[in-house]
């Protein structure tokens, strides 16, 4: 199955860019995409519900320009196991194309990284790499890990916009669990440059880039 998923991802990412451009769908350069993520982080921070350790971790990764050097390609945008039709050991179709765009291929890897099955992720990446026309960038999985984590903040923002208390509570629980795991174990590496040990925290509710006067 790793071979099938890797080949399917490669086929999507090797689709002609004109396919998206001619359909007038979103298209982002690496820096535009990075800035978009920073803007989303600012929005999430204003909720006051994101643990400071996560705000600091994500901001550090998003401001690490070296992490965002990738070749934009066609991206499915909402890829996960429910959008893969499988028969036996073959992927026969991919569904759910509503977020199709030109952007960061790492977004389509986020669901794999979130599975925490590293051997499977490595196998998929190997088949993906051998199937792509161009070799993927060195930091693909780091950005995929960031995307997987940041999806929790995006889920929270959606819940608050919908005034859905159950969705908000679920997002808060998942964010708290992630923050606890990172505080205890360090989490998956998402930055090229390590987070300074003496870095100060970010106030919950403050826009990204605004540090608090007290340590984490």
Residue 19: inside a domain: yes
Convert the pLDDT of each residue in 56-68 to its tens digit: 999 999 999 999 9
Tokens found for residue 11:
């086929």
Residue 207: inside a domain: no
Q: What's the CATH number where 98 sits? A: 3.90.1200.10
In this prediction, residue 215 carries a pLDDT of 32
Residue 215: inside a domain: no
Residue 107: inside a domain: yes
Among all chains, which residue has been given the structure tokens 């921070």?
A: 45
Residue 79: inside a domain: yes
In this prediction, residue 125 carries a pLDDT of 97
Contacts of 15 (CB under 8 A, 6+ apart): 73, 74
Mean pLDDT of 124-136: 96
Domain count, the chain: 1
Residue 37: inside a domain: yes
Residue 103: inside a domain: yes
Q: Mean pLDDT over all residues of the chain?
A: 90
CA diameter of the chain: 56
In this prediction, residue 197 carries a pLDDT of 61
Residue 211: inside a domain: no
| Chain center to CA of 85 | 22
Q: Residue 77 above 70 pLDDT?
A: yes
Domain range holding 158?
Answer: 2-190
């Amino acid at each position: 199955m790793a071979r099938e998923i890797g080949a399917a991802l490669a086929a999507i990412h090797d689709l002609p860019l004109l396919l998206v451009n001619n359909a007038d769908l979103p298209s982002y350069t690496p820096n535009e995409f990075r800035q978009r993520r920073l803007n989303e982080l600012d929005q999430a921070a204003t909720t006051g519900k994101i643990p400071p350790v996560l705000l600091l971790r994500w901001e550090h990764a998003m401001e690490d320009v070296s992490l965002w050097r990738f070749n934009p390609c066609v991206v499915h945008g909402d890829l996960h196991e429910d959008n893969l039709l499988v028969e036996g050991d073959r992927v026969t179709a991919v569904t759910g194309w509503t977020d199709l765009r030109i952007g960061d291929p790492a977004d389509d890897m986020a669901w794999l990284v979130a599975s925490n099955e590293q051997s499977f992720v490595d196998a998929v990446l190997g088949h993906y790499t051998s199937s792509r026309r161009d070799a993927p960038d060195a930091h693909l999985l780091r950005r995929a890990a960031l995307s997987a984590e940041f999806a929790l903040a995006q889920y929270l923002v959606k819940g608050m916009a919908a005034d859905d208390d159950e969705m908000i509570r679920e997002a808060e629980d998942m964010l708290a669990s992630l923050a606890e795991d990172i505080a205890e174990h360090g989490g998956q590496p998402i930055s090229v440059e390590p987070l300074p040990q003496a870095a100060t925290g970010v106030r919950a509710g403050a826009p990204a880039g605004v540090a608090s006067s007290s340590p984490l």
